Structure 1
């Protein structure tokens, strides 16, 4: 008997002034592994992510977490339950050190999160965990640097560390390789695969080489609706997917 999905949607939709950005999407995301959401520009991928985390309120349908209906939960309740996302635009604090960025993220799950000012003594309580997280993303030797001094690819790695600091049960990554060079793309892809061990990761990604290399399952969006769902090999052969990407270099990438 198949287990209950950790996260699922049933006929989930979002309309803006009569335009359906997401249309009756039903998806099951199972615990463990990496589930990729792909589709051409404007397909509704980021809107769907915003619905999963309740940054947008659905116009219709339901959202379930471990079998419980959470459609009416607030974004704060969603995050506290362990559904945590990163954004396309980095959310790190550029003037603070790499270590402090992670320490501030760690504090968010503690009673100190509501304190405007935190003493060095309070922050130092989180040093050990912060250093472990920096080690896990390859930034252990950069902890004293201001975050603004990190190369762009390393900033992405730091953002991943701050996301991990919130101890996600489901980690949602929105375009994690956007704007990266080839070398950084490979590094971040390998890092995502590494830190996804033992947790569930959902990733919106445009780079098909990354998707094929890290994903266990792929859902394809077009015009706000799901047109294919399955393994990368299966969806890449689907005529509807090839038609959706017609005229794009991605068709060649998917067939390679």
Structure 2
């Protein structure tokens, strides 16, 4: 019997796969059998490309600045013309840490353009052919700050709340067309985005004291959730934001 988690024969697009969560997710999908198209900044994804190739999967790198909405529309159309994309993982994201009274319009727009606007139009660009075919999986990377406000990260929290909303709205529209749209909300994971927190002894201690698992998450902890939501095992999962946080939200 074929495993419901088997992704052989599927093609997955992953944004921001150059490092951290995106790279871990890309490798997880490759180990499950998927071929990969990696979208991200020029020169940032060679390591992920080489590791996916070592796993015996077909892999392609496409340069894309997710904040450039014209480029997002163009790349989504070009990729869709050349390949049947079965899975879209919207992982690319940035964070600015600053007091809310000091946030500039430039900083605000930069974070929202990457974390929310680019994500939506990638969903649209790749989701359109999925709905026409009657099959597809979209997984957006949300955050614990899709539920909470955080500290000194107003633009990031606004964007990640929006990611949860987009996920649910698209699920409502596209589930009848055979497309599942879900999200993963990683907890406190040891990546570049959390370096400032981990290097602050007081913040790091307070965070770890609340996590029942007693440790920072590893990027690889997110890969299994991504494989699940990308697979046939999740065919009846729609509009869900799956928290992978070591128990943070349960405390």
TM-score under structure 2 length normalisation: 0.35
Greater fraction helix: 2
The structure with the largest alpha-carbon Rg is 1
Which structure has more relative contact order (CA 8 Å, sep 6+)? It is: 1
Higher share in strand: 1
TM-score when scaled to structure 1? Answer: 0.34
